[in-house]
C-alpha cells in the first residue's frame, strides 16, 4: 500500500500532464479539473506516505526497485526516509495550492498546467530517488520547466517598459539585452535561472560521476554506494566540494544566490511558490542524500564551510530584503536568507539541529508559499509589486490581510506555527558548535521581522491610492482554499509536531551517528513489492 | 476535575476567538462583544475556583495538557503550573481583563471592525493566560510572542492612520529585539539543564556557575526590558497609545507590560544566584522610574502622560526585583493593574465624551459635566500618587522602604524623587483636565455627556479595588498577600533585618510627605496661580523643550541604529546589483566573447572542413540525381537491367557459368 502510494505521488502529476495533452484548450474548466484531480491525488497519496512512515523502523521505506540498466548499474529505485517523506508532502501541498492559485490564468492554461505538473513531479522525484542517476535526471528535469514558466507566463519588473532604444524600439529581443541590460525582464530572469542552475548541476554531475567511477562497484544505487564506497583524502574533498557547491547553488547559498530573487520576481505566483517552497530545498536535500550518505568523513571535515557561508546568507539576504521595494524581491531575498538557517542546522551535525533543519525546510515551504501566493494575488489585482505605490489594501482585502499577517508570523517563527519548532531546534542544536552563528541567526529573526512587517505596513496599512479601488479580496473558495490549506498545515504541525519530529529524527540519528563515527551504516532491507 | 478547570481557563477565550473570527460576520456586532466578554467572565470563574484551591493548598501543581515535543533529548510538554504566583496573575489577568472587556462593549460601540477588535482582544487573553500559566519556558515564550502579536494588531487597529501603522511596527520590532535575548536565554537554559520545565530547572539551579547564571539572567532581562518598556527599549510604549484606549488599559498598562516583571519573579531562583544581574535590574528600574517620570511632567496628550507613568511604575517594579523585594514587586504589579486600568479607562471615558479629543490643553472644567468619570479619575490619581490609604501607597511605600532598609540608598533616592514627580504630574493632569476654565471646543462642548453604565460600572469596580486593594498587603511585609506568596517569591538568600517600628513609620511619613508635596506643587501651579507653569516653561525653555521632545531619544535611535542599518542594507543591495551581478554578467560576457570566438571557428574552420565534405557529398548527390528523372520508363529500364544483372551474378555464383 505504501509503495503504491509513493508511486502514485510521483506519477499522478506526470499522468495529469499526459492527460492534459489530450484536453482541448477551449475547455479551461476541464483542464483545471484534470490538474486538480492529479494534484489532489498526489496530495492524498503523499499524506498517506507521511502518516504511514514508521518512525520506529526508520530508514528507507516503501521502496520500489526496477533494474533499468544492469551493465551501467542504473535502476529505477525509489523510497523515502524521514527526510524525504516530509519534503514530498510539502511538494504536494504546494502543488495542490499552486493549481488553485493559478486558477485565473487565461493565457494557454493547458500548457501552463502541464509544465507546472511536470515541475512538481520532477521535484517529488528528486525527494524519493535512491539512485544517483535518477536523482540527477529529476533534478535537471525540474529546472527546465522553470525556463518556460518564467519566459512565457512570468512578469517583468517595474521600469522594464521604459527600456527602449533611441528609435523607440523595445530592446527585449536582442541577445545583448537579455544577457546584460534587461535585468528587469522575465526573459533575462528565465535565462539567468536556467544557466545558473544548469551550471551548478554540471558540477554536481561531475561529483556524481567521480563517485561512480571510483567506487568499487559500478553502480548509481545510493544504498549500495553508502555501504561499499569509501573515499578519503583529496579525492573525497574534490567530490565533496563539487557535490556541495553544485547542489548549493540551487539552495541558494551566498554568494551563489543572485539568480534566485530575479527568478522569484519574474515567475508567476504558483511557480514562485514551488520554486521557493521546494525547488530550493532540492539543494539541501541532495547535499544530505549524496554528501551525508556517501561521503560522511568529508562531510564532517568540510561542513564548516557551510557554517561560514550561512552567516552571510542570513544577514546579507535580510538586509537586502529590507531595502527591496518589490514585494517578490523582499520575499525572494527573505527566502535566501532563511535558507541560511537550514545550512546552519545542517552544518552543526547535531541531532536536534539537523532535525530542525529538515522541519525548517517543510515550514519554510509553507510560509513562503503563502507569501508568494498572496503577493501574486496583490499583483493580479493591482498590476504592481512596487511597495511604495501600494497601501491601505486591508480595506479591500480583509481576508488576505489577515492571511498575510499569519504568513508573516509563520515566516518569523511565531510560536504556534511549525516554523517556531524548527527555528528553536536549529538554534538549540547549533549552539554548542557555532555560538556565533546562533547569535547571528537570532538577530536575523529580528531582521526578518523588520522587513516583513515593513512590507506588511506598506501593502495593507495607510491610505490607498484611488487607482487600486477596484482591487478585490479573495472571495471565491478556489482562491481561499489554497491559503487555508497552507495555513492549516503550518499551524497544525506547530501545535502537534510529534509525529513529524519522530519521523525526521528516525533518519537523522543513524545518519549523524555515522558521520560522527559512532556507528556503521545500517544495512537497508531492499526487497520491494516489485521485482 | 480541577485539572479540567485549569485547562478551561485559556480555552474559553480561544473558543470565543474561533466563533467570532469565523462566524462573526453572520450576526450583529453587539453579540460578538457579549460572547467575547462572556468568555472572559467564564475564565474568571474558573480561575476563581482554581485560585481557591491554591489558597487552601499552595504546593505547586503541574497540569500537562499534552506532550508537545517529545523524543530523544528534547522533552517539552504543553503544560501549566499552578502555584501562588500564577494564581495572583490569573486573578489580575482574568479579573481586570473581564472589566475591560465589558467596558469595551460601550467604548467601541459603532466602530468599524467591532468584531475584529474583540477577536484580537480574546486572542490576547489566550496568549496572556498561556504566558502566566505555562510550566516551562517554551509555553511562556508562546504566550510572550502571542501577546506581542496581539499588541501589534491592536495598536494598528486604526489601520488607515499611518502613525498607528508605524507605531505598531515599531512596537513589534522593538519587542522582537528583546525576544532575541529571551530566545538566547531559553536555549542557554536548555543547554545547561537539558530541560525547560521551571520546577526541574529551579531544582537544579544550584549546580549552575555564577557566570552562567549571570549570562542567562541578563539574556532574560533583555527580553523583560523589551516587553516591560524599560530603558533602553521603552520608546515603543508611548507610541503604542495609537491603539484604542481599552487596549492601552489592558495591554499597555495592566497585563502585557508587566510580563517582564512576572518573568523576573518567576525565574528569581536564577537571579538570586547572579548578584550582578540583580544590580542591573535594580539600576535599570530605578533609572526608568525617574527618567520616564520627568518626561511625563510636560506631555500634553492625556494618554501619553499615562503611558510615561506606566513606564515609570514598571521601573518601580524592576527596582523592587533588583533589591530582592519580589513580593513587593508583585504587590505593586497588582495594585498598579487596578489603578492604571482605572486611569486609562476613565481617560478613555473623557476622550469618549469629548468626541476623540486627547490634548489636555483643550479640556478643563470637566468635573461638573462628567462627575462620575471625574470621581473615579481622582481616585486613580490619589492611588498612583501614593496618598494613604489607597492601594498605591502601600505597594510603593513597601518598595521604597525595602530599598532603604537594605541600604540601596541611591535607588531609594531615585524612587523618592520619582514618587514626587509622579504625584506632581498626576495631579497636574487631573487639574488641567477637570478643573479651571473650560478650554473645550464650543462645538464639542454641547455634546459632552457622561458615559453609559456599561462603561461606568467597570470604572466604579476598579475604583473600589484601587481604594481597597492595598489592604491585602497590610501590614507591610507581613500582610496576607505576603503569606500567600511566601513559597514562591522569597529570595534564596533572604537577609532578615530587624527593622524597628520607628523606621517603618518614619519611612511611611516621608513617603506621605513626598506625595503631598507633589500634590501641593500641582495645586499651587494649576489652581492657585495658574499661568506660573507657562512662565516657568518659558524661562527654562531649553529644559522644557528637551523634556517635551522626550530627550530626543527617538531621534538618537534613528541616527545611531536605524539609519546605519538602512545604509548598510542599501550598500549590500548595491553590492548585489553591481558586484555580484556584474561578476555574473562578466561571466556572461566571457561566454559571449568566447561564443563569438567559437562561432568564428565554427564558421571558418569547422564549417570549412565540413563544407569540403559537404561539397563532395553535393557532387555525389548531383551525379546520383541524374538517375532519378521521374520517368516511369527509365525506372522500368533500370529495373530490367538490374534484374538481368542480378540473375547473371546469381548464376555465376551458383553454377560458375556465365550466360554472357
Q: Across all residues in chain A, what is the average pLDDT? A: 84
Look at residue B231 and tell me whether its pLDDT is greater than 80: yes
* Per-residue model confidence as pLDDT tens digits over B106-139: 888 877 778 888 888 999 999 999 999 988 888 8
- CA pseudo-torsion sign A451, A456, A462, A464: positive
Contact yes or no for A334/A368 (Cβ under 8 A): yes
Instruction: Residue B169: list chain A partners with CB under 8 A.
Output: 453-454, 456-457
Is it the case that residue B637 has pLDDT exceeding 70? no
Residue of B nearest to A188 (CA): B585
The per-residue pLDDT for A164 is: 47
C-alpha distance from residue A32 to each of A370, A523, B353 (Å): 21, 44, 57
Q: CB neighbours of A502 closer than 8 A, spacing ≥ 6?
A: A55, B71
A452 in contact with B, Cβ within 8 Å: no
| Better-predicted residue by pLDDT, B623 or B229 | B229
Judged against a pLDDT cut of 80, whether residue B577 lies above it is answered with no
Residue A383, in any domain of the structure: yes
Please report the DSSP string for B325-376 in residue order. Answer: -HHHHHHHHHHHHHHHHHHHHHHHHHHHHTTT--BGGG----TTTSHHHHHH
Residue B31 scores a pLDDT above 70:
yes
B 580-639 residues with CB < 8 A to A = 580-581, 584-585, 588-589, 592
> Residue A366 falls within a domain, yes or no?
yes
Which of A308-312, A465-469, B480-484 holds the top average pLDDT?
A308-312
Residues 6+ apart with CB under 8 A from A224: A217
Residue to test with chain B: of A82, A449, A497, most B Cβ within 10 A: A449
- B477: pLDDT strictly greater than 90: no
Query: CB-based contact (8 Å) between A446 and chain B?
Result: yes
> Cis ω on the peptide bond leading into residue B491 (within 30° of 0)?
no
Of B16, B13, B33, B14, the C-alpha closest to B111 is B33
SS3 category, A1 = coil
- Evaluate whether residue A410 is within a structural domain: yes
Q: Are B380 and B346 in contact (CB under 8 A)?
A: yes
Residue A65 pairs in a beta bridge with A77
The DSSP code for A129 is: B
**Residue A390 sits in which domain range?**
313-495
**Mean pLDDT score, A191-196:** 78
Q: Closest approach of chain A CAs to the CA of B21, in angstroms? A: 11
Across residues A54-70, what is the average pLDDT?
84
In a domain, residue A484? The reply is: yes
What's the pLDDT score for residue A72? 81
* Weakest mean pLDDT among B204-213, B218-227, B412-421: B204-213
Q: In this structure, is residue A362 part of a structural domain? A: yes
Of A374, A368, A370, nearest to A473 by C-alpha is A374
Residue A420: inside a domain: yes
User: Could you give the C-alpha distances from B114 to A404, A474, B31, B154, in angstroms and in order?
Assistant: 20, 22, 10, 12
Contact B72 A409 (CB under 8 A): no
B156 CB near a chain A CB, below 8 Å?
Answer: yes
- Per-residue pLDDT, averaged over A333-354, amounts to 90
Query: Among A484-493, B272-281, B546-555, B620-629, whose mean pLDDT is lowest?
Result: B620-629
**Is the residue at A375 inside a domain?**
yes
Q: How confident is the model at residue A48 (pLDDT cuts 50, 70, 90)?
A: very high
Closest CA to B140 of B192, B191, B189: B189
What's chain B's average pLDDT?
82
Q: Which of A516-525, B147-156, B211-220 has the lowest mean pLDDT?
A: A516-525
Q: How many domains, in total, are found in chain A? A: 1
List all residues 6 or more positions away from A370 whose beta carbon is below 8 Å from its beta carbon.
A403, A406, A407, A410, A483, A486, A487, A490
Closest CA to B180 of A53, A439, A104: A439
Give me the DSSP letters along A21-68. Answer: HTS-TT-HHHHHHHHHHHHHHHHHHHHHHHHH--TTT-S-EEEEEEEE
CA dihedral of residues A151, A157, A158, A161 (deg, nearest 10): -30
User: What does the alpha-carbon distance between residue B592 and residue B586 come to, in Å, rounded to a whole number?
Assistant: 9
- Name the pLDDT band for A173 (thresholds 50, 70, 90): very low
CB B466 within 8 A of CB B338: yes
| Model pLDDT, residue B624 | 60
In a domain, A481, yes or no: yes
Contact flag A509-B584 (C-beta cutoff 8 Å): no
Q: Is residue A15 over pLDDT 80?
A: yes
Q: Is the pLDDT of residue B628 over 70?
A: no
H helix or E strand, kind and range, residue B70: strand B61-71
A159: number of Cβ within 10 Å:
10
Q: Which of B187, B581, B589 sits opposite A431 (nearest CB)?
A: B187
* Residues sharing a CB contact under 8 Å with residue A492, sequence separation 6 or more, in sequence order: none
CA B310 to chain centre: 15
Task: Assess contact for B398 and B325: CB atoms under 8 A.
Answer: yes
User: Using CB atoms, which residue from A320, A460, A509 is nearest to B573?
Assistant: A320
**In the prediction, which pLDDT does B453 show?**
86
> Distance (Å, rounded) from C-alpha B469 to C-alpha B389?
10
In this structure, how many other beta carbons lie within 10 angstroms of the beta carbon of residue B457? 16
Task: Return the exposure string of B425-447: e unless at least 16 CB atoms fall within 10 Å of the residue's CB, then b.
Answer: bbbbbbbbbbbbeeebeeeeeee
How much is the average pLDDT of A177-202?
69
CB contact under 8 A, B69 and A498: yes
* Mean pLDDT, rounded, for B4-19: 88
Distance in angstroms (rounded) separating the CA atoms of residues A241 and A229: 17
Nearest to A335 by CA among A360, A310, A317: A317
Per the document, the length of chain A is: 531
Among A255, A319, A497, select the one facing B580 at the smallest CB separation: A255
State the cell numbers at B148: 506581542
User: Quick one: pLDDT at residue B606?
Assistant: 61
DSSP A373-441: HHHHHHHHHHS--BGGG---GGGT-HHHHHHHHHHHHHHTT-BTBHHHHHHHHHHHHHTTT-HHHHHHH
Among A80-94, B310-324, B483-497, which stretch is predicted with the lowest mean pLDDT? B483-497
Q: What is the pTM of this model?
A: 0.80
Distances (CA, A) of A392 to A453, B25, B115: 14, 21, 20
- What ipTM does this complex have? 0.73
Side-chain half-sphere exposure of A342, counting CA atoms within 13 A: 28
Q: Which of A314, A350, A428 to mutate to test the interface with B (most CBs of B within 10 A)?
A: A428
Angle at A223 between CA A220 and CA A229, to 5 degrees: 70
Helix A498-515 and helix A84-101, axial crossing angle in degrees, nearest 10: 130
A300, with CB counted inside 10 A (0-12, 13-18, 19+), is middle
Query: Residue A229: left (phi > 0), alpha (psi -120 to 50), or beta?
Result: beta
From B156, which residue of chain A is nearest by alpha-carbon distance? A461
Nearest to A39, CA basis, from A357, A385, A298, A274: A274
- Whether the CA torsion A390, A391, A396, A401 is positive or negative: it is positive
Mean pLDDT, rounded, for B517-531: 84
Q: Which residue in this structure is represented by grid cell 545611531?
A: B560
B627: pLDDT strictly greater than 80: no
Rounded to the nearest angstrom, the gap between the alpha carbon of residue B430 and the centroid of all alpha carbons in its chain is 29
Task: Name residue, grid cell 526496477.
Answer: A66
Give yes or no for a contact between A229 and A211, defined as CB atoms under 8 angstroms apart.
Answer: yes
Q: Measured between CB atoms, which of A180, A432, A446 is closest to B588?
A: A180
pLDDT at A181: 43
Distances (CA, A) of B177 to A445, A478, B232, B259: 9, 39, 11, 16
What are the φ/ψ torsions at residue A516 (nearest 5 degrees)? -85, 15
Amino acid at each position: 500500500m505504501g509503495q503504491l502510494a509513493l508511486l502514485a505521488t510521483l506519477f499522478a502529476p506526470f499522468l495529469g500532464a499526459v492527460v492534459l495533452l489530450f484536453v482541448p484548450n477551449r475547455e479551461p474548466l476541464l483542464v483545471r479539473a484534470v490538474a486538480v484531480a492529479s494534484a489532489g491525488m498526489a496530495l492524498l497519496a503523499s499524506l498517506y506516505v507521511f502518516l504511514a512512515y514508521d518512525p520506529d523502523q526508520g530508514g528507507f521505506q516503501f521502496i520500489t526497485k526496477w533494474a533499468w540498466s544492469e551493465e551501467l548499474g542504473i535502476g529505477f529505485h525509489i523510497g523515502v526516509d524521514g527526510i524525504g517523506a516530509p519534503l514530498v508532502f510539502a511538494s504536494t501541498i504546494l502543488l495542490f495550492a499552486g493549481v488553485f492559485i493559478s486558477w485565473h490564468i487565461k493565457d494557454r492554461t493547458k500548457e501552463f498546467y502541464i509544465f507546472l505538473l511536470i515541475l512538481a513531479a520532477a521535484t517529488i522525484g528528486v525527494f524519493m530517488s535512491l539512485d544517483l542517476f535518477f536523482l540527477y535526471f529529476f533534478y535537471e528535469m525540474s529546472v527546465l520547466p522553470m525556463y518556460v514558466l518564467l519566459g512565457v507566463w512570468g512578469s517583468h519588473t517595474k521600469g522594464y517598459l521604459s527600456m527602449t532604444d533611441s528609435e523607440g524600439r523595445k530592446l527585449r529581443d536582442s541577445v545583448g539585452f537579455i544577457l546584460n541590460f534587461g535585468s528587469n525582464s522575465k526573459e533575462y530572469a528565465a535565462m539567468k535561472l536556467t544557466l545558473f542552475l544548469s551550471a551548478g548541476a554540471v558540477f554536481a554531475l561531475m561529483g556524481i560521476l567521480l563517485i561512480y567511477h571510483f567506487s568499487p562497484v559500478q553502480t548509481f544505487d545510493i544504498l549500495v554506494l553508502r555501504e561499499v564506497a569509501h573515499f578519503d583524502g583529496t579525492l573525497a574533498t574534490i567530490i565533496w566540494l563539487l557535490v556541495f557547491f553544485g547542489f548549493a547553488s540551487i539552495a541558494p547559498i551566498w554568494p551563489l544566490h543572485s539568480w534566485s530573487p530575479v527568478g522569484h520576481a519574474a515567475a508567476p505566483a504558483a511557480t514562485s511558490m514551488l520554486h521557493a517552497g521546494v525547488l530550493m530545498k532540492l539543494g539541501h536535500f541532495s547535499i544530505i542524500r549524496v554528501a551525508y550518505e556517501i561521503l560522511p568523513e568529508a562531510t564532517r571535515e568540510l561542513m564548516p564551510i557551510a557554517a561560514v557561508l550561512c552567516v552571510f546568507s542570513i544577514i546579507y539576504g535580510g538586509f537586502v530584503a529590507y531595502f527591496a521595494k518589490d514585494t517578490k524581491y523582499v520575499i525572494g531575498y527573505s527566502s535566501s536568507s532563511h535558507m541560511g538557517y537550514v545550512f546552519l542546522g545542517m552544518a552543526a551535525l547535531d541531532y536536534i539541529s539537523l532535525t530542525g533543519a529538515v522541519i525548517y525546510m517543510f515550514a519554510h515551504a509553507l510560509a513562503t508559499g503563502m507569501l508568494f501566493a498572496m503577493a501574486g494575488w496583490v499583483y493580479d489585482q493591482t498590476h504592481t509589486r512596487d511597495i511604495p505605490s501600494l497601501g491601505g489594501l486591508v480595506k479591500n482585502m480583509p481576508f488576505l490581510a489577515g492571511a498575510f499577517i499569519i504568513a508573516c508570523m509563520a515566516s518569523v517563527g511565531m510560536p504556534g506555527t511549525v516554523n517556531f519548532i524548527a527555528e528553536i531546534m536549529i538554534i538549540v542544536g547549533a549552539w554548542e558548535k557555532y555560538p556565533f552563528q546562533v547569535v547571528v541567526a537570532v538577530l536575523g529573526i529580528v531582521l526578518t521581522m523588520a522587513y516583513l512587517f515593513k512590507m506588511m505596513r506598506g501593502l495593507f496599512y495607510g491610505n490607498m491610492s484611488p487607482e487600486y479601488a477596484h482591487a478585490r479580496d479573495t472571495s471565491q473558495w478556489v482562491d481561499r482554499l489554497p491559503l487555508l490549506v497552507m495555513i492549516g498545515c503550518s499551524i497544525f504541525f506547530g501545535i502537534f509536531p510529534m509525529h513529524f519530529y519522530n519521523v525526521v529524527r528516525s533518519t537523522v540519528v543513524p545518519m549523524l551517528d555515522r558521520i560522527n563515527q559512532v556507528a556503521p551504516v545500517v544495512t537497508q532491507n531492499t526487497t520491494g513489492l516489485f521485482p | 476535575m480541577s485539572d479540567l478547570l485549569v485547562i478551561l481557563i485559556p480555552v474559553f477565550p480561544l473558543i470565543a476567538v474561533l466563533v467570532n473570527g469565523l462566524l462573526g460576520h453572520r450576526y450583529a456586532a453587539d453579540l460578538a462583544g457579549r460572547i467575547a466578554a462572556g468568555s472572559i467572565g467564564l475564565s474568571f470563574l474558573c480561575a476563581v475556583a482554581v485560585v481557591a484551591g491554591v489558597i487552601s493548598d499552595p504546593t505547586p501543581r503541574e497540569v500537562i495538557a499534552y506532550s508537545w515535543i517529545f523524543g530523544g533529548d528534547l522533552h517539552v510538554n504543553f503544560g501549566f503550573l499552578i502555584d501562588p504566583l500564577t494564581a495572583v496573575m490569573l486573578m489580575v489577568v482574568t479579573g481586570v481583563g473581564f472589566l475591560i472587556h465589558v467596558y469595551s462593549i460601550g467604548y467601541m460601540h459603532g466602530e468599524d471592525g467591532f468584531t475584529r477588535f474583540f477577536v484580537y482582544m480574546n486572542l490576547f487573553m489566550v496568549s496572556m493566560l498561556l504566558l502566566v500559566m505555562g510550566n516551562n519556558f517554551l509555553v511562556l515564550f508562546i504566550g510572550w510572542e502571542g501577546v506581542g502579536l496581539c499588541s501589534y494588531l491592536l495598536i494598528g487597529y486604526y489601520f488607515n492612520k499611518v502613525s498607528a501603522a508605524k507605531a505598531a511596527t515599531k512596537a513589534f520590532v522593538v519587542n522582537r529585539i528583546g525576544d532575541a535575548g529571551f530566545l538566547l536565554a531559553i536555549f542557554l537554559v536548555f543547554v545547561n539543564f537539558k530541560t525547560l520545565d521551571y520546577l526541574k530547572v529551579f531544582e537544579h539551579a544550584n549546580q549552575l556557575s555564577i557566570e552562567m547564571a549571570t549570562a542567562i539572567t541578563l539574556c532574560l532581562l533583555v527580553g523583560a526590558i523589551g516587553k516591560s518598556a524599560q530603558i533602553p527599549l521603552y520608546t515603543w510604549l508611548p507610541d503604542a497609545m495609537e491603539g484604542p484606549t481599552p487596549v492601552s488599559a489592558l495591554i499597555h498598562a495592566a497585563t502585557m507590560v508587566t510580563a517582564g516583571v512576572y518573568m523576573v519573579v518567576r525565574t528569581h531562583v536564577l537571579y538570586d544566584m547572579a548578584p550582578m544581574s540583580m544590580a542591573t535590574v535594580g539600576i535599570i528600574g530605578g533609572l526608568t522610574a525617574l527618567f520616564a517620570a520627568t518626561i511625563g511632567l510636560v506631555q500634553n496628550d492625556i494618554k501619553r502622560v499615562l503611558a510615561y507613568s506606566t513606564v515609570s511604575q514598571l521601573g518601580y517594579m524592576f527596582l523592587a526585583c533588583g533589591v530582592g523585594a519580589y513580593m513587593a514587586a508583585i504587590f505593586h504589579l497588582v495594585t498598579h493593574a487596578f489603578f492604571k486600568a482605572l486611569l486609562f479607562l476613565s481617560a478613555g471615558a473623557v476622550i469618549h465624551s469629548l468626541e476623540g479629543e486627547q490634548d489636555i490643553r483643550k479640556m478643563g472644567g470637566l468635573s461638573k459635566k462628567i462627575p462620575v468619570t471625574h470621581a473615579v479619575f481622582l481616585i486613580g490619581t490619589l492611588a498612583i500618587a501614593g496618598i494613604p490609604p489607597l492601594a498605591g501607597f502601600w505597594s510603593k511605600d513597601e518598595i521604597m522602604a525595602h530599598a532603604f532598609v537594605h541600604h540601596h540608598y541611591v535607588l531609594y533616592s531615585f524612587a523618592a524623587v520619582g514618587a514626587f514627580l509622579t504625584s506632581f504630574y498626576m495631579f497636574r493632569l487631573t487639574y488641567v483636565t477637570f478643573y479651571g476654565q473650560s478650554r473645550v471646543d464650543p462645538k464639542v462642548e454641547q455634546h459632552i455627556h457622561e458615559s453609559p453604565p456599561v462603561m461606568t460600572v467597570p470604572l466604579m469596580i476598579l475604583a473600589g479595588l484601587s481604594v481597597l486593594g492595598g489592604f491585602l498587603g497590610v501590614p507591610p511585609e507581613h500582610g496576607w498577600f505576603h503569606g500567600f506568596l511566601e513559597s514562591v517569591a522569597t529570595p534564596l538568600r533572604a537577609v532578615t533585618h530587624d527593622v524597628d517600628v520607628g523606621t517603618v513609620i518614619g519611612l511611611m511619613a516621608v513617603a506621605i510627605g513626598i506625595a503631598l508635596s507633589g500634590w501641593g506643587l500641582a495645586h499651587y501651579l494649576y489652581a492657585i496661580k495658574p499661568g506660573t507653569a507657562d512662565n516657568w516653561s518659558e524661562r527654562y525653555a531649553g529644559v522644557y523643550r528637551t523634556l517635551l521632545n522626550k530627550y530626543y531619544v527617538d531621534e538618537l535611535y534613528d541616527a545611531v541604529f536605524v539609519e546605519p542599518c538602512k545604509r548598510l542594507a542599501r550598500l549590500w543591495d548595491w553590492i548585489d546589483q553591481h558586484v555580484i551581478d556584474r561578476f555574473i554578467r562578466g561571466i556572461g560576457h566571457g561566454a559571449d566573447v568566447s561564443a563569438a570566438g567559437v562561432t568564428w571557428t565554427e564558421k571558418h574552420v569547422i564549417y570549412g572542413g565540413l563544407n569540403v565534405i559537404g561539397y563532395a557529398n553535393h557532387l555525389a548527390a548531383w551525379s546520383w540525381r541524374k538517375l532519378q528523372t521521374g520517368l516511369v520508363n527509365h525506372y522500368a529500364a533500370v529495373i530490367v537491367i538490374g534484374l538481368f544483372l542480378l540473375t547473371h551474378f546469381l548464376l555465376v555464383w551458383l553454377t560458375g557459368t556465365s550466360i554472357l
